[in-house]
Amino acid sequence: MNRNPIIVALDFESPAEASALIARLGDRVSFYKVGMELYAAAGMAFARELRAQGKDVFLDMKFYDIPETVRRAVCQVARAGLQFLTVHGSDAVMRAAVEGRGAASLKLLAVTVLTSFDRQDIADLGYPSEVSDLVDLRVRKALAAGVEGIVASPLDAARIRRIAGPGAILVTPGVRSPGAAQADQKRVATPAEAIRDGADYVVMGRQITRAASPADEVDRVLEEIASA
């Protein structure tokens, strides 16, 4: 591992809280995820500010709309010079996103099936299949559409890596170090297991952001990964 694979999720209600955490982490972490909460509070202005500070930005908006709307919205994100953006793994959405990204360096990550969904949830949507079969189908479709990466449960990482091959970007939230509080995450793996199973990046929120010393927590997790 020659770079820090941790993306810290800035799940805060204000940009001031997010900035305070970033300051506490200093140079240890350079990649941050801005999700719906912080986006609703501080918008693209905050994402641009992070870029201006030299941070990498993963905008986790899980876009899903008619193709023209997705294309135009992705175009805006691409222009802001961000690194990663999530879109839902439906074929038309992904193709529109690829078009909207154009020649920009923004990488698109597909959300295949929300990890909160179980077999009954997808049956309710009219997909009479196993969740894993739908995930695998959507991984193949994402890569065929020109999407570069996948966001997935660490428990699916090894299988997805086999399907997607070495070139795809694999990002796994839902990770916890041994002994850390799981909170509302149900199907977790450790950061070291996720990386071993083929993840390029692990998204970590509360274990780091709510730690007494977030910087020490990052150091501990990096050691855990390195010694695994």
Q: Which residues form the catalytic set?
A: 62
Q: Tell the smallest beta-carbon distance from residue 177 to ligand C5P (Å).
A: 11
Q: Tell the smallest beta-carbon distance from residue 102 to ligand C5P (Å).
A: 26
Q: Which of 8, 11, 90, 134 binds ligand C5P (CB under 6 A)?
A: 11
Name which of residues 187 to 216 contact ligand C5P (CB under 6 A). Answer: 203-207
Nearer to ligand C5P, 36 or 66 (CB): 36
What letter does residue 26 receive in the DSSP assignment? G
Nearer to ligand C5P, 115 or 190 (CB): 115
Kindly state the greatest CA–CA separation across the chain. Answer: 48
Nearer to ligand C5P, 66 or 183 (CB): 183
Nearer to ligand C5P, 71 or 209 (CB): 209
> What are the beta bridge partners of residue 171?
151, 201
Closest C-alpha among 132, 136, 167, 147 to residue 92: 147
Q: What is the CA radius of gyration of the chain?
A: 17
Q: Which two tokens stand for residue 194?
A: 């996720």
Name which of residues 17 to 46 contact ligand C5P (CB under 6 A). Answer: 35
Closest C-alpha among 66, 139, 145, 65 to residue 101: 145
Nearer to ligand C5P, 173 or 198 (CB): 173
Region of 107 (left: φ > 0; alpha: ψ -120 to 50; beta: rest) is beta
Name which of residues 82 to 141 contact ligand C5P (CB under 6 A). Answer: 115
Closest C-alpha among 198, 122, 117, 98 to residue 155: 198
Q: Which of 5, 89, 149, 173 binds ligand C5P (CB under 6 A)?
A: 173
Q: How many residues bind ligand C5P (CB under 6 A)?
A: 14
Q: Which two tokens stand for residue 11?
A: 């799940």
- How far is 189 from 197, CA to CA, in rounded Å? 10
Contact between 174 and ligand C5P (CB under 6 A)? yes
Q: Tell the smallest beta-carbon distance from residue 103 to ligand C5P (Å).
A: 28
Cβ–Cβ contacts within 10 Å for residue 126, how many? 6
Q: Which of 9, 139, 150, 168 binds ligand C5P (CB under 6 A)?
A: 9
Closest C-alpha among 202, 189, 205, 110 to residue 156: 189
Which residues of this protein are in contact with ligand C5P, per CB under 6 A? Answer: 9, 11, 35, 115, 151, 173-174, 183, 185, 203-207
